[in-house]
Amino acid sequence: MPKDKPDEPPTIDDAIQSWVDKFNKIQGWKSIEAPQSKDGKRYHSPLHRFEEATSKAQADALEATKAKRKAAEKVKKLEKLIAKLPDGDKKHQAEEALEQAQERLADATASLSTATAEIVRSTRVLRQLTEVEKDLDEDLKKVSERIASLQDALGKQNGAPLSGMSKEDKELEFKIVQQMRDGVARNIDRARDETFKINKNVDGQEIERRYAVICSEEYKILHAMLDEAMLMCLTSDIEGAKAAIHSTSDQLALFRTARTGARIIEQSDNFDSRLSNPLGAVSSTVGSLRHDGFTTTADELEAEAHRIRAGIKQVQSLSADTLVERFGDEVTQLAKRAERQIERARECKTLITQIDPALRTLRVMDANDQADGFDSDYSAAMQERTPLQRRSRLEKLAKNTEIAIKEVRASQTSDAKIDTKALQQKLLTLQIAYADLFKTDRKGNVRMQKDSQTRELKGVKKDSKIPREAIDEIEMKLRAAQQLLETDSIDALKTAQDYLASIETYETSVTENSDQFKQAAETLKTLKDKIAGLKSKYGAYEPSRTLELEREVEQFEVKYKAMDPKVARRISSTLYQRMAELKADIRKCAAKYKEVEKSAKKVDGKLKSLSKVMQNFTIDDLKLSGYYGKYVAELAQARSTAEERDLRSLNRADTQILDLRTTVDTAISTAQKRLFEGSRDKLDGQELQVWTALKSDAVDGQNKQTELEQKKKEFEAKYKTVKARFKTIQKNYKNLKLDTSDVDLAVQEISSLEAETKASKEYAGALKRLEELEKDADNYEITSAEMDRFKKLAIDAAATECVTKIRNFRNKVETFDGEIKKIGKIDEIELDDQGTVMSENDVKAYLASVAAFIHADDLTRLETNAKKMDEELEKKGGDPRKPREAALGAVRNLMRALNVGGPLAHFRQQPFTSGNPDLDAAVASLPRLEIKLLTAISD
C-alpha cells in the first residue's frame, strides 16, 4: 500500500478490492467503497475517483435515508398527537413542530433522490472503467500523478504563472501553446466520434460489430496529457509543454493505428508560430471538412498544406524571418482559402436548418409525395464533396421547398374554402376594436398606468366596468389567432377561423354587457357571505356538499372576470340556486339530527334498564354486573353514523335506532319475565329464543368488560410509571442542557394517551405504545446518566476516555483478520480463473487501510489540546479558546471519519461478529465530548 499524505484519506488497493468483491459473493459482505478526496488539487486514477464518488453518494444516501426515516416518524408521531390534542398553546406548538418536521422530511427526500441519482451515475461509470485494460489504468495513474505534482508546484510558485516573462512574451507563448493544444484536442474529439468495424463469427454467421477508434480510457489519458502540457506551460516550462503536446499527438496516432491501421493524424508543426499557427488552423479546418463529408476539398487543402510543410522542412535551418518571408504569402493564401471553404460549409449547415423544418412542414400538410422528392434531392446534395457544389444544390432545394409550401397551402386553403386574406382582415378589425377599449392622448397613443397588483404598465380602460382580466383575455385570444394564421397547417387555419368568430362574439359581449360583470360580482359576494354563515351556524351539517359548493364559488371568483359576462351571470345565478337548496337541506339535517339524538337517548335509557335487570342473573357461575353486549355497540355505531350529519346518514341512523329500540324493548320484557317467573319453563317459543340469544350476548359482553377493566388497571399503572420516568428524564435533560424536544413530545404523547383512552375505552393499543415509550425511556436514562458522569470529568480525562475508545476500535480493526479466520480460511477464495488467491498479509493490509481512516494525528491533537485547555481553565486569566478550537477540529475530523468514510461504513456491515460494540462506543463518545468542549467556556 502506498503511503498517503496526512491530509488525504487512503485509497483501496485494486487487489484488495478484487478479493473483497469475490468474498462478497460467498459471505454477502457488501461492496467496499473509498471516500472522496477532499483535496481539490489532487487527481487520483478514474477508478479511484469514481469509487470515491460512489462511496460518498452511498454515504449520503444512507444519511438521507436515516434523516428521511427519522423525519417521517416524527411527522407521523406529531400528526397523531395533534389529532388528540384540544385547541390551545400545546396544539399550536405541536403544529409548528409538525411544519418543521415536514420541511426536514422534504429536504431529506430531495437529498435521497440526488444521492440515488449520483449512485446510479457513478456506479455505471465505475463499472465501465473497471473493464478497461490494466496498462491503460497504469498510464492514466501516471499522468494523473504528474498532473498532481504540477498542480502542487503551481500552487507553491511565487507570483503569477509565467511570472518570469514579459507581458507580451507571456501572451504570445501562452497563445501558441493554447492553439497547439486546441488543435490536438479537436483531433482527439474527432477520433472519439470515429468507429471501425469488426466481423464476429457466431454459429457460422458473420455479424458486424462497430467499436470506437479510441476507447473511454484512452480518451481520458489523451486529455489528461493535454492538461499536463498546459500545467507545464503555467509553470514556465514552455518547451516542455510543446513537447508534451507533440507526445499527445503521437500517442493519439498510436491508439488509432493499433486498432484500425488508419492514417496518423497530422502532428503540430515545430517551427515559427507565424507559419505553424495558420498551418495548424488549416489542419483543423481539414479535419472539420472531412468530418462533414467534404473529402475532395479536404484532400486538396491537406495536399497543399503538406507541400508547404515539406518545403519549409527542407530549408528549416534558415532563420525564422527568412522562412516567413519565403513562405508567408503561400501560408496566408492557403489559410484564407481554408477559411472560405469553412465559411461555405457553415452556410451549408445554415441551409440545412432551413430545409429540415420545411420538409417536416410538408409532411404535416400531407404533401408526402413532394416531401419524398425533396428528400431525394437532399440526399443527393449531401453527397457533394465540395462546399461550393453542396451549397449550390442546397440553396436551390431551400428555394423549392419554400415555393412548394406556399403552393400546397394555397391549394389546401382553396379546397377548404378558407379565405386567408379575409381572416387576416378580420383579425385586423378585431385588433382595432381591442385598441378602442383604451383611452388615448392627443397624439393617439394609449394612455398607460401601473397595474395595482402586478405593477406593470397597462392601458387605461375607457369603460371602468370591464374587468382588466376580460381585456387581458381578449389580448391573449388575439395573439393566439395571429399565431394560428402564421402556421402552414390547414387544420390550424380552420381553428383560426373558428377562433376569430369566438373572439368577435366575446369582444362584442364584453363591451355591450359590461354591467353584468358587476351583477355577477354582487351575486358572488352574497354567495360567499351566505356560505360563511352556513359554515358558522351549521358547519357540522352536509360538510362535503358545503365544501364542494365553496370550492366551485372560489373557482368562479378566479375565472368570472375573464368570462363572457352573460355566461358569468348565468353561472352565478346557478350557484346561488344551489346554495339555497343546500341551505334548505342543512336545516332539514339539523332538525333530523335532534330527532335522532332524542331517540338515541331513549334507547340509552332502555339499555340502562336492561342492565339493571341483567344484574340479577348468574349464568354458568358468572355473576353479571350489568349488560355490556352488542346492543351497546350498535347504539354507538348508529350515533357515529348520525355524526356524519347529512340527510342520507341521518335517515340511516334513524332507521337503525328505531329498529334497535324495538329489539331492546323485546329483550327487556323477556328478561323481566324470566326474572319474575324464576324459570325459563314459563317462556314461550319466541321468548325462549330471545332469552337464549340475550344470555349468550350478556356473557360475552361481561367477559369483554372484565377484560377491559383489567386492561384499564394495567394501563393506569403503567401510565403513572412511564409518566413519572419521563418527567424525571425531562428534568435531568434540562439540567444537563441537552436537547429536550423529543422528550417533550413523549411527555405530551403520554398525556394524550390518557385522554384518548378515556374517550374510546380502548386500552390495548395505548398499552403497547407505553411499552415502546418505556424502551425509549431506558435509552434516555442511559444517555442522561452517561452525560451526567461525563460532565463531572475534567476536559483532559473526558478526552482521554474518548481517545481510548477510538484506539480500542482501531486496534479491533487492525486485528480483525482473527475474526475472519474463525469463519474460514482467507486464502480459499480465488481472485481469478488462474487460481490467484488473496494472502493473509493482503487482508491485513486492507484492514490497515480501513483503520488508517482514523488519523493518529487527530487523536494526538485531541489529547494535547484537551490537556492545554484544562491548564488554561485552571490559570487565572488563562485563555482556553485556542486549544478548544483545535480540540473541536480534531473531534469533528474523527466524527466524519467514523460516520462518513466508505471503508468504515463497509466495515460496519461485516458479518463475522454480532454487531460492532467497539465502533458504537467510539461513535457515541465523540458527540458527548463535543458538547462538553462547547459548554466548558461561557463565551
pLDDT at 767 over 60: yes
Separation CA 46–CA 141 (nearest Å): 8
Separation CA 197–CA 407 (nearest Å): 46
Separation CA 586–CA 592 (nearest Å): 10
* Range ranked top by mean pLDDT from 15-29, 84-98, 709-723: 709-723
- Residue that wins the pLDDT comparison between 418 and 890: 890
pLDDT at 672 over 60: yes
Mean local confidence (pLDDT), 15-36: 40
For residue 6, what pLDDT band results from cuts at 50, 70 and 90? very low
- Residue that wins the pLDDT comparison between 725 and 919: 725
For residue 278, what pLDDT band results from cuts at 50, 70 and 90? confident
Separation CA 695–CA 686 (nearest Å): 14
DSSP label of 824: S
pLDDT at 72: 78
- The residue written with cell numbers 534558415 in the block is 318
For residue 137, what pLDDT band results from cuts at 50, 70 and 90? low
Q: Kindly write down the DSSP assignment for every residue of 418-434, as one continuous string.
A: --HHHHHHHHHHHHHHH
Separation CA 378–CA 390 (nearest Å): 10
Separation CA 487–CA 712 (nearest Å): 78
**Out of 199-203, 287-291, 729-733, 816-820, least confident range:** 199-203
pLDDT in tens, 324-358: 888 888 888 998 888 898 889 889 988 988 888 88
- Residue that wins the pLDDT comparison between 128 and 594: 594
Q: What are phi and psi of 837, to 5 degrees?
A: -125, 165
pLDDT at 20 over 60: no
Separation CA 692–CA 715 (nearest Å): 35
Separation CA 753–CA 766 (nearest Å): 6
Separation CA 332–CA 865 (nearest Å): 70
pLDDT at 765 over 70: yes
Mean local confidence (pLDDT), 800-816: 86
Amino acid in the structure at residue 470 = A
Residue 345 C-alpha cell reads as: 460549409
- Residue that wins the pLDDT comparison between 787 and 468: 468
* Beta-ladder partners of 208: 199
**pLDDT above 90 as % of the chain:** 8
The DSSP element (H or E) to which 595 belongs, if any, is helix 565-614
Mean local confidence (pLDDT), 906-932: 73
DSSP label of 319: -
pLDDT at 7: 37
pLDDT at 13 over 50: no
Cα-Cα end-to-end distance for the chain: 45
pLDDT at 201 over 60: no
pLDDT at 469: 81
Amino acid in the structure at residue 180 = M
pLDDT at 395: 92
pLDDT at 457: 65
Q: Where are the beta strands (DSSP E) in 350-456?
A: 448-450
pLDDT at 601 over 90: yes
Mean local confidence (pLDDT), 803-825: 79
- Residue that wins the pLDDT comparison between 494 and 804: 804
Q: Please say whether the beta carbons of 23 and 830 come within 8 A.
A: no
For residue 1, what pLDDT band results from cuts at 50, 70 and 90? very low
pLDDT at 656: 92
pLDDT at 840: 72
Residue 858 C-alpha cell reads as: 487527530
pLDDT at 631: 92
pLDDT at 164 over 60: no
For residue 394, what pLDDT band results from cuts at 50, 70 and 90? very high
pLDDT at 264 over 60: no
pLDDT at 837: 57
pLDDT at 315: 82
Name residues whose C-beta falls within 8 Å of residue 147's C-beta, 6 or more positions apart in sequence.
43, 224, 227, 228, 231
- Residue that wins the pLDDT comparison between 460 and 634: 634
- Residue that wins the pLDDT comparison between 56 and 476: 476
**Out of 50-64, 422-436, 790-804, 813-827, least confident range:** 50-64
pLDDT at 42: 25
pLDDT at 459 over 70: no
pLDDT in tens, 460-490: 666 777 887 877 887 888 887 777 777 666 6
Separation CA 473–CA 594 (nearest Å): 51
pLDDT in tens, 676-711: 887 777 788 888 898 989 989 999 988 988 888 888
**pLDDT above 70 as % of the chain:** 74
DSSP label of 830: B
* Range ranked top by mean pLDDT from 308-312, 401-405, 437-441, 482-486: 401-405
* Beta-ladder partners of 200: 207
Q: Please say whether the beta carbons of 58 and 121 come within 8 A.
A: no
Per the prediction, the chain carries an average pLDDT of 76
Separation CA 508–CA 517 (nearest Å): 14
pLDDT at 119: 62
Residue 426 C-alpha cell reads as: 378580420
Residue 279 C-alpha cell reads as: 498551418
For residue 848, what pLDDT band results from cuts at 50, 70 and 90? confident
For residues 675, 681, 683 and 686, what is the CA-based torsion angle, rounded to 10 degrees?
A: 130
Mean local confidence (pLDDT), 502-506: 81
Mean local confidence (pLDDT), 427-445: 73
The DSSP element (H or E) to which 205 belongs, if any, is strand 205-212
- Residue that wins the pLDDT comparison between 5 and 839: 839
- Residue that wins the pLDDT comparison between 647 and 72: 647
Helix (H, G, I), strand (E, B), or coil: what is residue 201? strand
pLDDT at 54: 58
Separation CA 291–CA 187 (nearest Å): 11
pLDDT at 558: 86
DSSP label of 37: P
pLDDT at 653: 92
pTM (whole model) above 0.75: no
User: Cα Rg for the chain, rounded, in angstroms?
Assistant: 43
pLDDT at 45: 33
- Residue that wins the pLDDT comparison between 796 and 122: 796
Neighbours of 528 (CB within 10 A): 15
For residue 612, what pLDDT band results from cuts at 50, 70 and 90? very high
Whether the CA torsion 507, 508, 512, 515 is positive or negative: it is negative
| Distances from the Cα of 650 to the Cα of 466, 543, 544, 586, angstroms | 47, 13, 15, 12
| Distance, C-alpha 225 to centroid of its chain | 36
* Range ranked top by mean pLDDT from 173-182, 381-390, 492-501, 900-909: 381-390
For residue 609, what pLDDT band results from cuts at 50, 70 and 90? very high
**Out of 272-286, 803-817, 892-906, least confident range:** 892-906
Separation CA 923–CA 897 (nearest Å): 10
pLDDT at 210 over 60: no
| Distances from the Cα of 837 to the Cα of 11, 18, 169, angstroms | 21, 10, 58
pLDDT in tens, 531-582: 888 888 888 888 888 889 999 999 988 888 888 888 888 998 899 999 889 8
**Out of 516-530, 663-677, 784-798, least confident range:** 784-798
Q: Kindly write down the DSSP assignment for every residue of 34-75, as one continuous string.
A: -PPPS-TT----HHHHHHHHHHHHHHHHHHHHHHHHHHHHHH
pLDDT at 712 over 70: yes
